[in-house]
Amino acid sequence: KRPMISDLRESGAVEQDADMVILLHRPDMHDPESPRAGEADLLVDKHRGGARASITVAAQPHYSRFVDMADLSWA
């Protein structure tokens, strides 16, 4: 299930007070057969003064990091 900003409602005033909320979604965490294995979405779900967006990045859990997929073009 893709996370939504409404999932933060039980977290006190975080949703209301934050200037920016970025949610992380890894499709392969819930579906190991996902064709998007190794990818993650950074969901900019709230951005005061800016637009909402979805940014696809490469997940590298063995390094505990996410990298721009364009940076992997050399691999």
Whole-number pLDDT of residue 66:
93
In a domain, 75, yes or no: no
Residue 52 is part of which domain span?
A: 5-69
In a domain, 31, yes or no: yes
In a domain, 32, yes or no: yes
The pLDDT tens digits along the chain (75 residues) read: 889 888 887 777 877 888 999 999 999 888 888 899 999 999 999 999 899 999 999 999 999 999 998 766 655
Token pair recorded at residue 67: 């990298």
In a domain, 53, yes or no: yes
Give the count of domains, the chain.
Answer: 1
In a domain, 58, yes or no: yes
What CA–CA distance (Å, rounded) separates 20 from 50? Answer: 9
Whole-number pLDDT of residue 50:
93
Q: Please check whether residue 40 is in contact with residue 57, taking contact to mean a CB–CB distance below 8 angstroms.
A: yes
In a domain, 57, yes or no: yes
Whole-number pLDDT of residue 72:
66
| pTM higher than the cut 0.85 | no
In a domain, 35, yes or no: yes
In a domain, 43, yes or no: yes
Residues sharing a CB contact under 8 Å with residue 68, sequence separation 6 or more, in sequence order: 57, 58
Measure CA 26 to chain center: 7
